[in-house]
């Protein structure tokens, strides 16, 4: 039997996702109409012999997470539970801490996935690849190709081209190492815990020594990437399976819009029922659009491509929405407003003829290996042009333009803004 573990991190990790992560833990942010994590879970549930999915993180248990877990369990008929780390233990520390729970029942292998990635999750292909490579290795990393410049933002993998063995692994190198990058999706056997255990023992001794000499408490963090993969590379213990399918990180709100586009496209095969279609008396749909069944949309509105409309959203006559995510309870009910490259937060309203517009941060379309840039919020003393985000419960009056701005929650704006964070 198999298990899957999803590393969901914790509250302080989603900083590039603010102000949206104020309202909902980042892994539950809706991407293509469903919580980010649901895409991982649906992929796991399709793997034969998958017995359990474990979420590991350092969020306090909360209502949203509990609700999500119980509804996903019911819908997908697979046991899911959340294990909370007592502190941020790192990508290897959390799974080591909970190793008994992961290994209970004797899984032959288990998947580990970063929550903040979007992917086609080729888990069954990874499993086949793992079996083809015999019993003696302890893991398969999913890899994809990036361009030389962007590879530096990821874990970089040098492989033996004939055997696919991982020869070197360098996490976010400062100069070019390899264009094969780590997707943050792995398949391990229980042997991995022997290697994490060695690092744990070594760290433990160093921590005791440090405490005795300097009186300082060192954090108990183990990173799979720097502490484990780097050491195991070149020892015939790790292999890389390269995917040709889509993959992207979801670090910023802008990358959530891009990830939505990728998942909406995948819905044509995986979930055609989630895609809106053009019918008499319904709004005009252009390209891939998700509309929650409870949304109330005027037939003269025009939506798409790449639009996700959340639960209970109201959209008025003549409204245009493109490349955007409109969250639960928002109202674009005033006629003729326009929302482009933006995220409209929970319960926000946009007034008549108002325009809410951002700048897309898509990967370079002319480079097949380009990834989305995780731009910093500020560049050259100004706000980096990016998507516009309205936090929850923001009210945009009629006939104003909000462009390339981030509006924090609970604001009633009274004029136009551009290139600003509105606090
Ligand atoms: N449970 C738990 N999860 C954690 C912790 N720290 C990070 N995570 C989770 O682990 C994932 C990776 O987190 P980061 O530490 O932010 O790493 P990164 O910059 O995204 O880089 C990682 O992912 C890249 C692919 O997206 C890889 O290329 C890179 O090698 C690395 O694995 C995220 O889903 C995050 O929530 C922790 O202490 N505890």
Q: Is the CB of 9 under 6 A from ligand 1?
A: yes
Count of domains for the chain: 2
Output the CA 420–ligand 1 centroid distance in Å: 29
Q: What's the CA-to-centroid distance between 121 and ligand 1, angstroms?
A: 17
pLDDT of residue 375: 65
Ligand 1 contacts CB of residue 89 (under 6 A)? yes
Q: Is the CB of 30 under 6 A from ligand 1?
A: no
Q: Does any domain span residue 284?
A: yes
Q: Is 228 helix (H, G, I), strand (E, B) or coil?
A: helix
Does residue 14 surpass a pLDDT of 70? Answer: no
Using left for φ > 0, alpha for ψ between -120 and 50, and beta otherwise, residue 405 falls in beta
Taking the centre of ligand 1 as the mean of its atom positions, its distance from the CA of residue 27, in whole angstroms, is: 12
Task: Kindly tell me if the per-residue pLDDT of 283 is higher than 80.
Answer: yes
Q: Report the CATH number that the domain containing residue 397 is assigned in CATH.
A: 2.160.10.10
Same domain flag for 216 and 130: yes
pLDDT in tens, 181-233: 999 999 999 999 999 999 999 998 888 888 888 887 777 899 999 999 999 99
Mean of the per-residue pLDDT values for the chain?
94
Torsion of CA 59, 62, 64, 70, to 10 degrees: 100
Which of 180, 215, 249 is the last residue before a domain boundary? 249
268 within a domain of the structure (yes/no): no
* Cβ 113 under 6 angstroms from ligand 1: no
Confidence (pLDDT) at 272: 98
Nearest to 408 by CA among 24, 34, 23: 23
Specify the residue with its C-alpha closest to ligand 1, atom 23: 184
List the residue whose alpha carbon is closest to atom 13 of ligand 1: 114
Does the beta carbon of 5 sit less than 6 angstroms from any atom of ligand 1?
no
Residue 301 forms part of a structural domain? yes
Range of the domain at 20: 2-249
Q: Indicate whether 328 and 418 sit together in one domain.
A: yes
Identify the residue whose C-alpha is closest to ligand 1 atom 29. Answer: 155
Residues 229, 321 within the same domain: no
Q: 245, 118 in Cβ contact below 8 A?
A: no
CATH of residue 81's domain is 3.90.550.10
pLDDT digit string, tens, across residues 310-350: 999 999 999 999 999 999 999 877 789 999 999 999 999 99
For atom 37 of ligand 1, which residue has the closest CA? Answer: 90
């Amino acid at each position: 039997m198999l298990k899957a573990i999803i590393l969901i991190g914790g509250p302080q990790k989603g900083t590039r996702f603010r102000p949206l992560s104020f309202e909902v833990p980042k892994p539950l942010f809706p991407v293509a109409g469903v919580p980010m994590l649901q895409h991982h879970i649906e992929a796991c549930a399709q793997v034969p012999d998958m017995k359990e999915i474990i979420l590991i993180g350092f969020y306090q248990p909360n209502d949203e997470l509990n609700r999500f877990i119980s509804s996903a369990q019911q819908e997908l008929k697979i046991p899911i539970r959340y294990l909370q780390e007592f502190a941020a233990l790192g990508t290897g520390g959390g799974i080591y801490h909970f190793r008994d729970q992961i290994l209970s029942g004797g899984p032959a292998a288990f998947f580990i996935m970063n929550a903040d990635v979007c992917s086609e999750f080729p888990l069954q292909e990874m499993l086949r690849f793992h079996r083809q490579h015999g019993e003696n290795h302890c893991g398969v990393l999913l890899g994809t190709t990036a361009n030389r410049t962007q590879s530096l933002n990821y874990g970089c993998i040098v492989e033996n081209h004939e055997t696919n063995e991982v020869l070197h692994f360098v996490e976010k190198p400062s100069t070019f190492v390899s264009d094969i990058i780590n997707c943050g999706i792995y398949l391990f056997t229980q042997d991995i815990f022997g290697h994490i255990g060695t690092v744990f023992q070594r760290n433990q001794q160093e921590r005791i020594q440090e405490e005795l000499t300097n009186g300082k408490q060192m954090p108990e963090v183990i990173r799979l990437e720097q502490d484990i993969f780097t050491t195991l590379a070149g020892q015939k213990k790790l292999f890389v399976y390269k995917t040709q399918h889509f993959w992207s990180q979801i670090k910023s709100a802008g990358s959530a819009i891009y990830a939505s586009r990728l998942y909406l496209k995948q819905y044509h095969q995986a979930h055609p029922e989630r895609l809106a279609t053009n019918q008499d008396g319904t709004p005009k749909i252009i390209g891939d659009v998700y509309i929650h069944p409870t949304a109330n949309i005027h037939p003269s509105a025009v939506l798409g491509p790449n639009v996700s409309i959340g639960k209970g959203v109201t959209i008025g006559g003549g409204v245009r929405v493109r490349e955007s995510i409109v969250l639960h309870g928002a109202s674009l009910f005033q006629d003729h407003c326009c929302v482009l490259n933006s995220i409209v937060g929970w319960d926000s309203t946009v007034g008549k003829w108002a325009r809410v517009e951002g700048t897309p941060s898509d990967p370079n379309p002319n480079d097949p290996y380009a990834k989305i840039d995780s731009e910093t919020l500020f560049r050259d003393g100004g706000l980096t042009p990016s998507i516009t985000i309205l936090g929850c419960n923001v009210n945009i009056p009629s006939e104003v333009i909000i462009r390339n701005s981030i509006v924090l929650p609970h604001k009633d704006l009274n004029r136009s803004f551009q290139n600003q964070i509105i606090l």
